[in-house]
Amino acid sequence: MAVASFEDLCAGFCEIVKVPLPVLKADDRGLVAFHVVLRDATVNLVHRPDKSPDHVFILFEFGPVGLNGPASLAELQALLDANFALLEVHTPVISRNPANGEAVMQCVYPLFEATPSGLYELIDKGIDQASQWRKDLSLRSPDGSDPTAAESSAQAMSNFSHQSMRA
C-alpha cells in the first residue's frame, strides 16, 4: 500500500533495512532529508515539501570523480556520456557534487505511489549501479584511455532507469 507522507515512507524503509529512523525536520532551506549507508554506498533521501510535495529525491553517491590525475578528464567525460546515453523519460541524472567531488546519481520517485518495499528495491538497484560505476572506473588505465567503462556504466544506468520507475 502506498504511503501518506515522506515520514511514513522513511519509517517503513528504515524498518526494512534495520536502521533507526532519524528525526525528520526541515532545514533552513526547507529540505527534509536523511542518509543511510548500505553496502558501502551512501544514499540520501530528500523531500522538498514547499517545491515538490509529490516527490522524493534519491541521491546515490558513487565516489570521487574528476579530482586530479591523468584520468580526471576521462572520469568527467564518463559522467557526461552516461547522461547522454539515457535519452528516456524519468531517467536518473548523473552529476558531480561540487561540495565534495562525488559523482552522484539523482532519481525522482513519486511519493504518493511509493511503498517502503518499492523504495528499498529501487535503492538496492541504485547501489548496484554505484558499485558498477566504481568497478568500471577502476578498470580504466591510469591515463583514462578505456572508453568502454563509460559505455558499460551508461548501459547499466539505462537498464536501471527502465527497472526503477516500475519499482
pLDDT tens digits for 2-25? Answer: 667 999 999 999 999 999 999 999
Beta-bridged to residue 46, according to DSSP, are 33, 57
What pTM, to 2 d.p., does this model score? 0.81
Cα 162 from Cα 65, distance rounded (Å): 25
Q: How far is CA 90 from CA 22, 57, 117, 140, in A?
A: 29, 12, 20, 29
| Window from 11-25, 60-74, 91-105, 108-122 with minimum mean pLDDT | 60-74
Domain locations along the chain: 6-164
150 pLDDT more than 80: no
160 falls in which pLDDT band (50, 70, 90)? Answer: low
pLDDT tier at 165 (50, 70, 90 boundaries)?
very low
Whether CATH 3.30.1460.10 fits 6-164: yes
The angle that helices 148-164 and 72-85 make with each other, rounded to 10 degrees, is 40
